A and B are shown apart, each in its own frame.
Chain A
Amino acid sequence: MRLSISLTLLALALFVVSLLVGPAELSSGDSVAGLFAGGGEAAAIIMREIRLPRAILGLAIGISLGLSGAVLQGFLRNPLAEPGVIGVSSMAALGAVLVFYSGLAGSSLYALPAGALFGALLAVLILLAIAARQGSTLTLILAGVALSSLAGALTSLVLNLSPNPFASYEIIFWLLGSLKDRSMEFVAIALPLMAVGWFLISLSARAIDALSLGEEAASSLGIHMGRARFMIVAGVALSVGAATAVSGTIGFIGLVVPHLIRPLTNRMPSSLLLPAGLGGAALLLAADIAARIVLPAGELNVGVLTALIGAPFFLWLVVRARREML
């Protein structure tokens, strides 16, 4: 509980810092005034239409990634699990890329998120169809890996066939993941879906605890495995699908955060959920702030930064605590 409170305070502090950082040189006073009525016209626009949605998305996407990583690691009893591993992020990315390719992206603000969500949904339907037939956790991992590779290959194919270099550039840039220039409309599209995803994931708390003892023992402890599988896969797909839809792919947060937080808990998978969500929010907000400070022109994508810091850090974590990973 103390851990969750500390992480909440940390995430909120970073949320505020995120509001205060940006290329437009606003003083803290102007920023606050711009946010809550009053203040200059420009300050109000910058705060309400640029920085606030960015900070909200940083918070919500961070929660989605951290929470999804934690629940998948618990569910699959595998410390390497993360939203990418079941193919949801890559299918969402493929959906978005197809929207770019077809040229629909320019026609409506909603086309891109809709494409990504459709990709994520398709991934879930495929996974559930396979899991329902076979019904083991291992099947789900293998199907996810296959789906991921296929989506990656199709994304490459689209890049290959893309009509002009500018389209390829746009696609690649989007794939790198960013929170830059997202409007309140994006928040309105993504946040409700993410919230439903979080709710579904939180319902699986008992299941992932019982699954520490294996699938048969969990089922003998009263866990309806089919139901748990549905809630987790659907919850991850909704939250990560919606996140990918507005931000592109942001890697490593779902993988790293549960490992950072787990030693601070009693190791019960359910007790990791809330702290991992909050930790994910704090980490993504911090990365997004850093992305703005390192290159003030704003061209460093946060997805690049999280991978750049996340991957070596994860390697260090593995070397330092091989035995402690589980």
Chain B
Amino acid sequence: MNLQVKNLSVVLGKRQVLDAISFDIEPGQVIGLLGPNGAGKSTLMRALNGHIAAAGAMQLGEHDLAAIGPAQRARLIAYLPQQRTIGWRLSVRDLVALGRLPWRAFGQRPNARDESAIARAMAMADIAPLADRVAKELSGGEQARVLMARAIVQETPLLMADEPASGLDAAHQIMLMQSLKRLAAEGRTVLVSLHDLTLAARWCDQVMLLNEGKLAALGTPETVLSDENLAIIYGVTAHRAQDDQGLVIAPVGLRKASTGG
């Protein structure tokens, strides 16, 4: 399903947090959502998921996202909020299983389809060995993987994850991006906000760069994460290298933006 956004604007209080964002994304891709702190990455995801009021048009396939209710939205969009909340002492398995709620009728027990989705998501997030542990007692990185599995298990056409890589060790960051790639290969759209430029450059099919609520650039990592954009938008200089797997971008110093505003 194509994700089409036209003139999406969000005002929180008196601040224009998103300013006339428009894009059209074909399915089957991992889209990296990048930008400095406060650029509007989380707001964009929250607006797409109906958590905050937004002006403009949002369309997923033939569905108008502003017009559908929570139950239908939950079968179209899985969303991992940045804030990691785990209430009660739930087991990892029970917590991941919550992601199947949108597909279950009231009072219905998980069926075979649910069970296989749960097993698959837990394998993708590399948490199968933690299945019987109390999620609350895991380390921060482990909790992040458990919550990611909860979103994956929803098996929706659009998966949005807000900083799923933060707190993950190097191996699990790579595993995460591999999993997202696999989900995209199944025809899903994966929208993921990242701070690590190399992760974005190597694993994302396209990168969406936000700056001060505006869409600064959208395209392949090579073009969007140019030295110029990094300097203007992030205010950094970076080392870059290319190997047969893709780009490596390591920020190394600060640079004042040359243009004002």
Which residues of chain A have a CB within 8 Å of any CB of chain B?
Answer: 77, 203, 205-206, 209-214, 216-217, 219-225, 266-269, 324, 326
Contacts and interface: CB of A to CB of B under 8 A. Distances in A.
Interface string B51-88: 10000000000000000011111110111110101111
B34 interface: no
A214 B71 contact: no
Contacts of A214: 81, 83, 85, 87
B94 A268 contact: yes
A223 to B, nearest CB: 6
Interface centre among B46, B73, B87, B154 (most CB of A within 10 A): B87
A141 B161 CA distance: 30
Contact of A213 (B49, B51, B69, B98): B98
Interface string B209-229: 000000000000000000000
B98 A210 contact: yes
Contacts, number: 91
A127 B77 CA distance: 31
7 contacts: A210-B101, A212-B87, A213-B95, A220-B74, A220-B79, A222-B101, A324-B89
Instruction: Give the 7 A-B CB pairs with smallest separation, nearest first.
Output: A222-B74, A214-B85, A220-B79, A212-B87, A222-B102, A222-B71, A77-B87
Contact of A216 (B46, B69, B87, B88): B46
Interface in B121-153: 136, 147, 150
B90 interface: yes
Interface of B: 46, 49-51, 69-75, 77-81, 83, 85-91, 94-95, 98-99, 101-102, 106-107, 136, 147, 150, 154
B89 A326 contact: yes
A216 B83 contact: yes
Contacts of B94: 266-268
Given A212-B85, A219-B70, 20 more contacts: A211-B87, A212-B86, A212-B87, A212-B88, A212-B95, A213-B150, A214-B85, A216-B51, A216-B83, A220-B78, A221-B99, A221-B102, A223-B70, A223-B101, A225-B70, A266-B90, A266-B91, A267-B88, A324-B89, A326-B87
B46 to A, nearest CB: 7
A223 B70 CA distance: 6
Nearest to A228: B70
Nearest to A226: B70
A258 to B, nearest CB: 11
A206 B106 contact: yes
A178 B78 CA distance: 50
